[in-house]
Amino acid sequence: MGSERVGDEGAFISAVYGGNLTGYTVPMALTDAQLAEIDAARAETRPTLRATVPALEEILHVPLPVLDHGFVRVIDYMGDDAAVVQAARVSYGRGTRKVSEDRGLINYLMRHRHTTPFEMCEIKFHVKLPVFVARQWIRHRTANVNEYSARYSVLDREFYIPAPEHLAAQSAVNRQGRGAVLAGEEAAHVLALLRDDATRSYDHYLEMLNETESGERRDPTRDGLARELARMNLTVNVYTQWYWKTDLHNLLHFLSLRADPHAQYEIRVYADAMAEALRRWVPMVHEAFLDYRMGAAMLSAKMLAVVRRMLAGETVGQAESGLGAREWRELMAVLDRA
Interface residue with a second copy among 15, 163, 298, 338 (CB under 8 A) is 298
Residue 131: CB minimum distance to a second copy, A: 7
Instruction: Tell me if 55 contacts a second copy by CB under 8 A.
Output: no
C-alpha 73/C-alpha 70 separation (Å) is 10
| Catalytic choice (42, 73, 227, 258) | 258
C-alpha 228/C-alpha 172 separation (Å) is 39
Instruction: Tell me if 30 contacts a second copy by CB under 8 A.
Output: no
Residue 168 assigned as binding residue: no
Instruction: Tell me if 329 contacts a second copy by CB under 8 A.
Output: no
**In contact, 124 and 252? CB cutoff 8 Å:** no
Instruction: Tell me if 50 contacts a second copy by CB under 8 A.
Output: yes
> What is the dihedral sign for C-alpha 214, 215, 216, 220?
positive
Interface residue with a second copy among 295, 315, 317, 338 (CB under 8 A) is 295
Give the N- to C-terminal CA distance of the chain in Å, as an integer.
Answer: 52
**In contact, 230 and 205? CB cutoff 8 Å:** yes
Q: Which residues from 193-232 bind a second copy, rule CB under 8 A?
A: 193-194, 197-198, 200-201, 204, 207-209, 215, 222-229, 231-232
C-alpha 114/C-alpha 112 separation (Å) is 6
Coil, helix or strand for 68? coil
Interface residue with a second copy among 3, 22, 25, 170 (CB under 8 A) is 170
Instruction: Tell me if 39 contacts a second copy by CB under 8 A.
Output: no
In eight-state DSSP terms, residue 238 is: B
Does 46 participate in catalysis according to the annotation? no
Residue 25: CB minimum distance to a second copy, A: 23
Residue 46 assigned as binding residue: no
Cα distances (Å, whole numbers) of residue 179 to 68, 165, 170, 176, 210: 22, 12, 5, 10, 42
Instruction: Tell me if 6 contacts a second copy by CB under 8 A.
Output: no
Instruction: Read off the amino acid at residue 234.
Output: L
In this complex, which beta carbon is closest to a second copy, that of residue 15 or of residue 33?
33
Instruction: Tell me if 88 contacts a second copy by CB under 8 A.
Output: yes
Closest CA to 81 of 56, 58, 64, 49: 56
Residue 326 assigned as binding residue: no
Binding positions for FAD: 116, 139-141, 147, 247-249, 253
Would you please indicate which residues are annotated as catalytic (active-site) residues? 258
Binding positions for dUMP: 136-139, 147-151, 231, 258
Binding positions: 116, 136-141, 147-151, 231, 247-249, 253, 258
